[in-house]
Every structure is written in C-alpha cells, then in structure tokens.
Amino acid sequence: MSAPVPVMTVPGEPPPTTDAVRATGLTRTYGRGATAVHALAGVDVAFARGAFTAIMGPSGSGKSTLMHCLAGLDAPTGGQVFLGDTELTRLRDDQLTKLRRERIGFVFQSFNLLPVLDARENIVLPMQLAGRRPDPAWFDAVVARLGLRDRLRHRPAELSGGQQQRVAVARALLSRPDVVFADEPTGNLDSRSGAEVLDLLRSSVRETGQTVVMVTHDPSAAAYADRVVLLADGRLAGEIDSPTADTVLSALRGLGA
Amino acid sequence: MFRVTLSGLRAHAARLVASTVAIVIAVGFVVATLTLSETTRDTMLEAVGARYVSAEVVVTSTTGEPVDGVAREIAGVPGVQAVDLATSTSVQALVPGRSGAQYLLVDSVAEDPALRWQQLADGALPDRPGEAAVSERVGADVGDVITVTTYAEDGVEESSQVTVVGVVDLGGDPGAGLNGRAFVSGDQVQAWGALGPSEVRVAGTGGTDADALAATVRDALAGQDVDVRTGEEQAVREAEGLTGDAEVLTLMLLVFGTVALLVAGLVIANTFAVLLAQRTRELALLRCVGATARQIRRSVLAEAALTGVAASALGVGVGIGLAALVSALVGTDSPIPLAGVSVPLSAVLGGLAVGTLTTLVAALAPARAATRVAPLAALRPLDPAPLRSRGGLLRLVAGLLLVVPGAAAMALGTAESEVLLSVGGGALSFLGVVLLAQRAIPPVVAATGRLVRSGGVTARLAGGNATRNPRRTAATATALLIGVTLTTAMVVGAASTRATAQAGLAAQYPTDVVVTGNTDDGIPAALPGRLATIDGVRAAAGLSAGGVTGPDGYEGWTLGVDPAQAAPVLRSTDDLPLPSEGTAVLPWWTVEGWGVEDGGEVVLTGDDGAARTFTVALGDTDHPLLTTADLESLDPDAVADTVWLRLDDGADQADVVDEITDVAGSLVPTASVSGLASERAALDEVVDVLLLIVTGLLGVAVLIALIGVGNTLALSVVERRQENGLLRALGLTRGQVRGLLAWEATLVAGVAAVLGVLLGAGYGLIGVASVLGGQGEVVLSFPWLQVAAIVVVATVAGLVASVLPARRAARIPPVAALAG
Ligand SMILES: Nc1ncnc2c1ncn2[C@@H]1O[C@H](COP(=O)(O)OP(=O)(O)O)[C@@H](O)[C@H]1O
Ligand SMILES: [Mg+2]
C-alpha cells in the first residue's frame, strides 16, 4: 500500500511524483584527502510506487551505501533524497527516526530481530514505537500469509533462519510503509527459505501494491524483481526491466563482476 | 608474567576502583571502630580514673560502711607513703554574677601531692579550709568568693564563705554532668557535713610495685569487709561502669564492621569476576601465546594481592582519620567522651591483614574461573553465561545451608540475649542471603520488568535486557543490595538504639529539671509560670509540700501534684505514676517500712488527726506523692515547694538550665536546680554522630554501586552495539535509547534497593533486639523517612550511573546494525 495520491494538483507546483523514493546527485564519501573513498559518486535514481526493484552490482560498488542513504539510515555527503514529497536530506535525526518507523520498513541480511522480544512483539515493535495500534485484521492477514501464526510466542533464538526472516518481513509490511528496503534478505538463508522470502516480497507487491527495494548480489534473487538497477564504482551502470537470472548474470559479467 | 600483571593493573586501574573502594570502606570501618573503642576507654580512664591512676592501691568498702577505721591500719603497712580518705558532700552555692544558687558536689583534696589528681586549668588546689577549687561548669574565677549554704544535722541553715583558688579541668568525666564540682580540704568537707569516706587511696613509697603493695595491704586487712585493688584496676573498673553504653555501641559497630568486611569481599569477588569476564579474550590470547593456566591464576592472584595491600593501607589511614573526625565532633562533653585518638597497634595490623586476606580469598574463585578460559575463546565472541550452571546450583545449596542455621542461631540468640550467637547467626545467614540473592535477583528483576511493561516498549525492552545476562545482573544488583542492606541495618539499628536509650532515660528520669525552694515559706505561686516562659522550657508543673503522718506514726515530707498539669511535663510515667484523686504514689521503701503493697490500701493522717484511706501505687519517688487537693485536705498548711520542668528537645540544655537557675534564684534565693536534661541531649548527639557516619557509609556504598552499575551497563552497550543500531533503524529515537538504559539501570538498582531495605530492616531490628535485649526493654523504632530516602538514593544512583553508557549507546548510528 502506498500513501494516497492527491487527486487535485495545485497549478504552478511540480506535478505529484509517482515515484515512492528518488535521489538526485547523491554522493557519499568516506574519509578525506588521499584516502577518501567515494562509495557513491553522483547517483540519480527513482523507484516507482508499487514496484519491486533490485539493486545489483559487484561487491564494493556502493549498493548498501545507496540503500542506507535512501532509507534515511545514513546521511549522504551531497545530493538529495525524497521519500514521496519529503526531502530526507533536510530532516534532523529525530524527524528521520520518526519517518523511518512510520513510513519505511526494513529487512536486513542478519540480526533482524531483538533477542529479548518474541516474534509478535518484534513484528509490532516499530508501530509501538510510533505509538500506533496495528490494524488487527491486517496483522492477521500478514501473519497468516507469512505462516507465522503458531510461532508468535517464540523468541528469535527458537526460530529457524527462514522463520526469522519471515518475521522480519512481517514487521516490515505491518505498518504498510511507503517503501520496504531489504539488504540481501536471503544472504544467510538456504535456497528454499530464500525463495519463500522472495515470494512473499513479490506477492506483497502484486497483491497490495507495496513498494519494495532490495539489494542483492544473487541474480536468481534479482529475477523476482520488476526491474534491476545496476551499480558499479558508486555510479549507475544500467537497468534491466523484467529481469531473468540469465539477463542479470550477463549484465553483471559486463560490469566485470 | 609479573610484568603483564603490573601493566594489567595499570590498564584496569579505573575498573579496580570499585574493589579498592570496597576494601577501603570495610577496613576503614573496622579500624575506626577499634580506634574509637580504644579512644573511649582511654578518655574514660583519664577522666574517671584520674583519681585512681595516681594511687598505687585503692581500698573500698564492700558494705558501704565508712572506711576511716581501716585507713589508720593501712598507714602502718610497710611501703605505704601516704593515704587519702576521700570524703564528699554536697552544698548549695551562690557564685558572684549568678543570681541563683547552684548545687555543688564537693570532694576532698588529698594532702599528699602524690595523691592529688585534679588537672588545673587555673590557680592551685586548696590547702586549708576557706579555700576551694571549682570545676569549669561552676563559672567562678580565681579570687571569687562563693557563699555556701549547708544544713546542720538539726536542719539549721548555716552559711559560710570560701575563696576560689583554682579552676579544675574535668576533661571528659561523664560524672561531671549538669552539676558543678568543688574541691576543698578534708577539714572543710567535714565542716560542711561529710558523708563518711567510702574509699582510701594509698600512695606507695618511691619505686614500690603496685601489685606487691596491694597484696601486702590485702594481707593486712584480711577479714575486713573491704576490696583492695591497684589504682589501675580500680580506674578500669570505674571506667567500665560508665562505658557500659559505649561498649554496646562498640559491639554493634563491630558487628557491622564484620558485615562490611564480608560485603567488601563479595563486592571484590564480583568486581574481579566482571573484570575477568571483560578480559576473557585477553586472557585467552595470553593462553594462545603460551601462558599456562597456573601462570594466569598466579597473575590474577598477584593482582588481587597488590590491590588488597594498597587498599588496606589506605583503609587503615581512612579509618584513623574517620575516628579522629568522630572524636573531634563528639568531643568530651558527651556520655561517651572522646579526646584525641588512641590507635591500637592491633587495629592497624588487623586492618591490613583482614583487608588483604579478604581480597585474596574473594579473588580465588574468579582466578580459578580465569584458568578455565580456553585459548580458543580469543577467537570467538563471548557467549552469555547460562543461568543453571553447576555453580548456580551449588550456590543455591550453599546459600540454604547458611541461611537456615544462621537464621535459627539468630533467633535463638535474640531470644536468649546471647549477642555472640545472634551475631554469628546474622553473619552466616547474610552470607547465605547473598548467595541466594545471586539466584533470586534475576527472576525478581524479570517479574518487576513485566510489571513495568505498561511503561511502554522501552520499559518492556529494558526488562528483557536486564535479565539477559542473569549472572551479571545478579552480581551488579548484589553489590548494591549489600550496601543498601548494611546502610538500612545501621539506620534502623541507630534509630532503635536511640529510642531504647531515650525510653530508658525517660522512665528513669521523667523530669528534665527540678527546681526546689529549700524554704519553709514556700515559693511564689508565680514561679512555675515564670519558669515556663523561659525560652527552651516546654512545660512546668508546680508541686506543693506538706507534712502527712504515715501508718508508722511518723510525720513525713509529702508532695502534692496536679496530675493534669504534670502529665505534659513528665517524659514517662513508667517508673513514676501520677496520683489521681484518692491514690497515693509511695516510695519503694514503704513496702517494708509501712507494710503496703502495690494496689493495696494505706491510711494517711492529716494535721487535724483525720485519717483517710488511699489506694497505693508504688513508684520511683523520694517522698509520698498525692494530688494537690488530697495533700491540702490532709495538711492545709502545705506550701508550693517544687517545680518540675520539661525542656524543648532542641534547646541548648546548659544555657536553659543556667537561665532557670538565675530566674529561680532571683525569686527564691535558696532555690536549687537539678536534673538530667544534659544526659539526654548528649545521647542524642552520639546517635546523631553515628547517623552521620552511616550517611557517609551510604555515600560510599552508593559510589561503589554507581561504579558497578556503570561498569555493567558500559559492557552491555559494547556488546549490544548491533542491537542498538537495529533499534535505531527501526525507529527508536536517541532519547528512547537513553531511556532504555535508564530503565534497565533503574530496574536493577530499584530491585536491589527494595530487597536491600527489606533485608536491612530485618537485620537492623534483629540486631538491636539481640544486642540491647540483654540490657532491658527494647523500643523498636523504624525511621520510615530515612529508609525511603535510602531506596530513592540507591535507585537514583543507578539511574545516574546509566547516564554515561546511555550517551555512548545513543551515539551508535543506525547503520551499525548492518555492519554485521
Ligand atoms: N563506514 C565506512 N567507512 C569507510 N568506507 C566504507 C564504509 N562503508 C563502506 N565503505 C566503502 O564504500 C564502498 C561501498 O561500500 P558498500 O556500499 O558497502 O558496497 P556493497 O554493499 O556494494 O558491497 C566500499 O569501497 C567500502 O569499502
Ligand atoms: Mg553490501
């Protein structure tokens, strides 16, 4: 689900964007002087609402850095990031934090869950932090879709890796955020569990119009996406629409990965 | 390896502060107690025993009969140079510049210089009748002329004058009290109506051995009703009679000192355990590069020994300093007088040994644990200790084995008033409680955490975090618990000791000050009212006096009191009940003299021959006590004679008494003032000083807790870096991260504080009951406010301790979660 699109537009204002998130002239430099690393060296990119986009590229190409900057986890050195109409690069830390818990969902590669909370508590954590009550019907729907109904009282340590990632996905989907960011969500999973998680992400896009941006280095994972954005040396290096594992693989070979 | 130990010590100096402070407090406490106890004895010996220390031998009567008979015999014993017959009396004295007469206790001055013990502040001791030396309290200067009123056998009033030739410094003599003292020649005492000599002080010829001379005198006096002691023995005896209270206090303090030592041991063990846990990787690395397990253990123990010796030495210094401070605060105007400090060598050596040993013993277990660190641990992350370890079970069993018999011994000791038994039981059970606390605290913290779930997500998370590493939480909380328990026990103990002592004093001396007219014409009716207006006087009651004939046919001095007026004046009616209409409060001697019994009846006859029957109530009074109306019906000539006064608790007793003396003296020149108000004030002062020390202890205990809690939280922040990053990513603001750690600290500290206060209150009350139980009735007093303050202070201290780690945690960037 995306935020409602305004029906009327005000004359003179730029037309309402249909992009869930976009970045212009994004740079991120680590260190300074001779040892400076330009993890992002000027990236212009946009992610459409209701689409499943994969970010791919060789190791060290800046995929994670791009995602962190898009998700308001890290402050870029230069450029702008917009979530809908909100310019993230202008927000203070507390505003960013609130925006993250209200409008963004996260699925990380590992260490996704708080060990002291059970599955249910982990799922509702961001909404609780925001002081919101999850819609019970939606909660039931998400939990049922992810097959977690009889695992809600379990602590993370009592769940398998695949179950843990599904809990993380449920958490990301529960608040119907503007965007779900996933950083190599299947990196630590066996192929079957990984396929399940990817299926869930794709069906959430198909069935509820959820916007998902996923970083991965696995071509077969990228094949679940509607579009692939390729990154190399901190710059955009191409796009693939309706990717398959083969087209992605050959594109990556072209980048020398 | 030793070099590694030294550099380790240097590197972890900050972390070792907790254990160092613990040893310093414990050793300091023990040394201070021993030093104060010794100082009290020395001060007493000097003050009370001065008159005996100057003599080689002291002969006292066992029957109370005058001993002038034996004096002549003693003078003939070989080796005796001089004897002094100590005589005494009391007089009313009028000092220039003061309008009221004072009650003076008069003692004779020895003729032989060897037997003169008085310390002169000014002038000289009297050599002939007509001269007097007075104590500083009298307020007279050398050259003043004092007018003395005495009463001859037949009751005739006689007046005489003496010139002050010297002023005597009585030091810390607690017998000095409210009354002035005068020292005059033996002849002058006789002239003023001496009370027969009750002791003979004997000086030997130069170089005689006191013990030998005492033996010779004892042989010479064989068969007579006298005790023969050396001067030293007699001095110690007198001092002990007066230091009874001080010894109870010393005993109590030593009990707490022992507990403090145990506590320090546990704090040290905890600190070393946390310290070594933090250094697991470092130790493992040492193992990897070839250090043997034995070398590791030796290194840890060497570290403990060095810490122990240094901290104990510091503790000895702190203890002596503390004793000096207390001594200076208490001074010599106190029932437990203290002058300077007398440091017994045993306190210094004992403190050093006990502190070092405690540290070593406390480090043994962590040292053994350190040797079990596998070299591989250097290469893998720390895993949290499991709750149900073998050590945990062992601790549970050991804890129960200590608590059950310990509690039983404590109960038995309290019931039987066997102080040593209950002290031993208390120490044993507390050790057990500490072991059990290690197991009990994590579940209690968890339960409390569930209770505060309503505090929001952060509270819920904090509750979970607080119990994630149960061993560490238990260690942290136990350190605080011990400090809080100790402090609460002290506060509760002090409050009850004060209440008990005050109740005893109140029952024994229900009136603060008594003003007597000493005149047949009676005192002006306005005197009680006038005295009541003096600043510092809370209430006054006038008594009348007259003659009433008892069943034995003799007319006796009888007092009349208005019970409604007297009730607010008396501090207690336990020992001195007030009469009601138709009741006579009679002195105890009437049981034999008049054949009456408590609750029985007695017939009293008035001036006109009319007899009335009264119900008998026995009490601590010198004369029969009736209501004013009853006395008047028997003796219409009864006149106002005596005023009972109660002083404000906060008033400067000496000043108020001086003003009372002056006011009474200006209206009734013959009036005399007596009372025990000063004793009460002095006792309060001692307890206040005690409480001051306790507050100091709390301060240090809180500091240790602060360091301990801070240590643990800092460790958690390092360990949970990724987790905190995740929370930030998911929407926890910086403030909420700080709140998370604040909640965690408050939870652990609060639980420890509440449990500690409960335990401490129990131990304090039991301690008081067993230590004071043997001395009579115990009044238990619970200082709610102070105890509540302890809970708050301890909890807030925990909160404060979280500030620095929380700031570090809040600075963790959200991306830290992804840097896995
Ligand atoms: N915190 C950091 N400090 C310094 N350099 C960094 C930091 N994070 C990432 N980099 C560098 O930035 C570049 C991009 O990193 P990253 O975005 O993690 O790449 P990817 O996720 O595509 O593997 C790499 O060269 C990496 O070494
Ligand atoms: Mg990456």
**CB contact A188 to B (< 8 Å):** no
Q: What is the Cα–Cα distance from A96 to B343, expressed in whole angstroms?
A: 66
Res. B383 pLDDT band, cuts 50 70 90: very low
> For position A186, what pLDDT does the model report?
87
Q: Is the pLDDT of residue B282 over 80?
A: no
> For position A15, what pLDDT does the model report?
47
DSSP code for A3:
P
Return the ligand 1 atom nearest residue A59 CA: 23
Convert B195-215 to b/e letters by CB count within 10 Å (16 or more is b): eebebbbbbbeeebebeebbe
Q: Is the pLDDT of residue B369 over 60?
A: yes
pLDDT more than 90, % of chain B: 2
Q: Is the pLDDT of residue B233 over 60?
A: yes
Element (H, E) at B632: helix B628-634
Burial class (CB in 10 A: 0-12, 13-18, 19+), B672: buried
Question: Separation of A63 CA from ligand 1 center, angstroms?
Answer: 8
Res. B375 pLDDT band, cuts 50 70 90: low
- pTM of the entire predicted model: 0.66
- Closest ligand to Cα A67: 1
Q: What is the Cα–Cα distance from B620 to B672, expressed in whole angstroms?
A: 21
Residue B550 identity (one-letter amino acid) = G
Average pLDDT of span B52-79: 78
Q: Which residues of B touch A116 (CB under 8 A)?
A: 461, 464-465, 468
Average pLDDT of span B38-53: 72
Dihedral of CA atoms B47, B336, B87, B148 in degrees, nearest 10, equals 100
Element (H, E) at B101: strand B101-109
Cα dist from B561 to A15, B514, B579, B647, whole Å: 103, 13, 8, 19
> For position A66, what pLDDT does the model report?
93
Q: What is the pLDDT of residues B407-427, one digit of tens each?
A: 888 888 777 777 778 778 887
A124 → chain B, closest CA residue: B457
Res. B270 pLDDT band, cuts 50 70 90: low
Return the ligand 1 atom nearest residue A68 CA: 17
Q: What is the pLDDT of residues B540-551, one digit of tens each?
A: 898 988 888 888
Res. B636 pLDDT band, cuts 50 70 90: confident
Task: Dig out the tokens for A165 from the structure.
Answer: 């990632």
Q: What is the pLDDT of residues A27-61, one digit of tens each?
A: 999 988 888 899 999 999 999 999 999 999 988 89
Cα dist from B718 to B632, B705, B735, B812, whole Å: 87, 20, 18, 10
**Mind listing the domains of chain A with CATH numbers?**
19-254 (3.40.50.300)
Q: What is the Cα–Cα distance from B214 to B219, expressed in whole angstroms?
A: 9
Q: Is the pLDDT of residue A3 over 50?
A: no
Contact A173, A105 (CB under 8 A): yes
Give the lowest-confidence range in A28-37, B33-42, B791-800.
B33-42
Res. B7 pLDDT band, cuts 50 70 90: low
Cα dist from B772 to B253, B429, B531, B572, B733, whole Å: 13, 20, 37, 20, 56
Q: Is the pLDDT of residue B579 over 80?
A: yes
Across chain B, what does the average pLDDT equal?
78
Q: Is the pLDDT of residue B280 over 70?
A: no
Contact B606, B612 (CB under 8 A): yes
Residue nearest to atom 24 of ligand 1 (CA): A60
Q: Which residue has the higher pLDDT, B303 or B330?
A: B303
Q: At what angle do helices B457-466 and B734-773 cross, to 10 degrees?
A: 60
Question: Separation of A200 CA from ligand 1 center, angstroms?
Answer: 29
Which of B818, B817, B816, B804 lies closest to B738 in space, CA to CA?
Answer: B804
Question: Separation of A81 CA from ligand 1 center, angstroms?
Answer: 19
Task: Dig out the tokens for B793 from the structure.
Answer: 């202070």
Within 10 angstroms of residue B433's Cβ, the number of other Cβ atoms is: 23
Residue nearest to atom 25 of ligand 1 (CA): A60
Q: What is the pLDDT of residues B653-689, one digit of tens each?
A: 777 887 888 888 778 777 777 776 556 666 666 666 6
What share of residues in chain B are helix, strand, coil (percent, to 5)? 60, 15, 25
Q: What is the Cα–Cα distance from B440 to B450, expressed in whole angstroms?
A: 16
> For position B256, what pLDDT does the model report?
60
Q: Which residue has the higher pLDDT, B135 or B155?
A: B135
From the CA of A101, how many Å to the nearest CA of chain B?
4
**CB contact A97 to B (< 8 Å):** yes
Residues with CB under 5 A from ligand 2 (ion): A 64
Q: What is the pLDDT of residues B237-264, one digit of tens each?
A: 776 665 555 565 566 566 666 666 666 6
Contact A131, A166 (CB under 8 A): no
Average pLDDT of span B437-449: 85
From A27, A30, A32, A229, the mutation candidate for ligand 1 (largest count of ligand atoms within 8 A of CB) is A30
Task: Dig out the tokens for A17 from the structure.
Answer: 């964007």
Q: What is the pLDDT of residues B8-27, one digit of tens each?
A: 656 566 666 667 777 787 78
Question: Separation of A60 CA from ligand 1 center, angstroms?
Answer: 6
Q: Where are the domains of chain B?
A: 1-52+225-382, 53-224, 455-467+479-509+677-820, 512-675
> For position B414, what pLDDT does the model report?
76
Interchain contact, B730 vs A106, CB within 8 Å: yes
> For position B776, what pLDDT does the model report?
66
Residue nearest to atom 16 of ligand 1 (CA): A62
Question: Separation of A63 CA from ligand 2 center, angstroms?
Answer: 6
> What residues line ligand 1, using a CB cutoff of 6 Å?
A 30, 37, 39, 57, 59-65
From the CA of A159, how many Å to the nearest CA of chain B?
18
Burial class (CB in 10 A: 0-12, 13-18, 19+), A54: buried
Q: Which residue has the higher pLDDT, B1 or A57?
A: A57
Residue nearest to atom 21 of ligand 1 (CA): A64
Average pLDDT of span B69-83: 80
Interchain contact, A183 vs B815, CB within 8 Å: no
Q: What is the pLDDT of residues A183-226, one digit of tens each?
A: 888 888 888 888 988 998 999 999 889 999 999 988 999 999 99
> For position B385, what pLDDT does the model report?
40
Q: Is the pLDDT of residue B694 over 80?
A: no
Question: Taking the CA atoms of chain A, what radius of gyration do you get in angstroms?
Answer: 18
B449 → chain A, closest CA residue: A116
Q: Which residues of B touch A100 (CB under 8 A)?
A: 729-731, 814
Convert B444-475 to b/e letters by CB count within 10 Å (16 or more is b): bbbebbeebeebbbbbbbbbbbbbbbbbbbbb
